[in-house]
Amino acid sequence: MTTPADQPTTYEKIGGDAAVGKLCDRFYERMDSTPQFAELRAMHPEDLQGSRDKLYMFLSGWFGGPDLFVEKFGHPRLRARHMPFAIGTKERDQWVACMVLAMDDVGIEEGLRTRLLENFFNTADFMRNQHG
Ligand code: HEM
């Protein structure tokens, strides 16, 4: 996500490092505890800490903050990295719904939340590699 040079970044608006970390904590806590996300949960390792840390490092850079994921793992190649997982509309919608709950938990301001939801949806949709 790009931000014009004279505007605060999404990273700054959301509340910096602590807020990105909290968003990722809540995302995986919700995934782990919500029956509606059972299929999504089952695709992930039993211990969610590594998944949480990777999403945190990725979102830090994606929001315009420190590019932690790229520094550690190189180019995200997100679509390629998701190829081992069968992702259709059901998985996409569970991922996005889980992120909506996490954003609500963190209390992101309405305008920013709407814009992020659009970006998350588009990225999740791009990750689909199965019909249906
Ligand atoms: C469309 C629905 C999605 C599904 C079902 C899904 C599922 C997964 C799974 C199962 C993993 C592996 C976790 C692990 O290795 O611990 C993963 C990794 C990851 N996902 Fe997703 N994901 C989705 C969408 C997204 C979106 C929209 C983003 C970013 C905005 C994202 C960012 C990441 C990142 C950064 C990783 C770590 C990649 C790596 O280094 O291997 N995912 N995802």
Query: What sign does the CA torsion over 54, 87, 85, 76 have?
Result: negative
Q: Which residues line ligand 1 (CB under 6 A)?
A: 40, 43-45, 50-51, 54-55, 58, 73, 78, 81-82, 85, 87, 91-92, 95, 120, 123-124, 127
> Residue 2: pLDDT above 70?
no
Query: Which pLDDT does position 132 carry in this prediction?
Result: 75
**What would the pLDDT profile of 25-81 be if each residue is shown by its tens digit?**
999 999 999 999 999 999 999 999 999 999 999 999 999 999 999 999 999 999 999
- 100: nearest Cα among 120, 84, 85, 80: 120
pTM, 2 dp: 0.96
* pLDDT, position 18: 98
